[in-house]
Amino acid sequence: MKRKMRGLLLAMSVLLLLGITACGGVKTAEVDVAQVMEEMREAHPIQGSLQLTDTDMLNFYGIDTDTLESYSAEMAADGITANEVVLVKAKDEESAKTVETKLQNRLDARRNEFKNYLPDQYAVVEKSEVKRDGVYVRLIMSPYQDELAELYDSRLKG
C-alpha cells in the first residue's frame, strides 16, 4: 500500500512539475513590425536607405511574402554598407523557421562578401544575428546592433 501511495505521489509530482514548467515560458507580445521599424529608424536611421518591397524580399532573401503576416525591411542602398534590418511576422511557426533559415543564409553571404574586402563592414556583420521568437524573426545588421536588438526585444516582450 505504501509503495502504491509513493508511486502515485511521485507521478503527481512529476505531472505538476511538467505543468508548471510548460506554463512558465516567456510570453511574446503582439508586435507591429512596421511600428518597431519606425522606432528603429528614428533612433538610428540608415543613410541612403532602400525600403524593401515584396519583390526585393524574394530577390535578396528568397522569401515569398505570401508566407508572411507582415514585414518591414530596409537596407543601405549602396550595397557596400553593412546596414540592413528585416523584421518579419510569419503566418505560422513553419514559415518562421523557413524565414529564419533564409535570413541566416543572407547574413552568411554578407559575411563572406565583406570578409576580405571591407574589414570595417565585416566587423559590423560579425556582431549581427538572426533571431526567431515564435512567428517573429529578425535580422539586424547595423553599427547599432546592440541598441536596435534591445529596442526590438523590449517590444517583443511587451
* Sole residue written with cell 512596421: 34
Q: Rounded to an integer, what distance in angstroms lies between the CA atom of residue 113 and that of residue 108?
A: 9
What pLDDT is stored for residue 124 in this prediction?
96
**Mean pLDDT across 100-127:** 95
Instruction: Note the pLDDT tens digit of each residue in 29-82.
Output: 788 999 999 999 999 999 989 999 999 999 999 999 999 999 999 999 998 999
What is the DSSP code (8-state) at residue 59?
I
pLDDT band (50, 70, 90) for residue 16: very low
**Mean pLDDT across 121-150:** 96
Task: Give the predicted TM-score (pTM) of the model.
Answer: 0.81
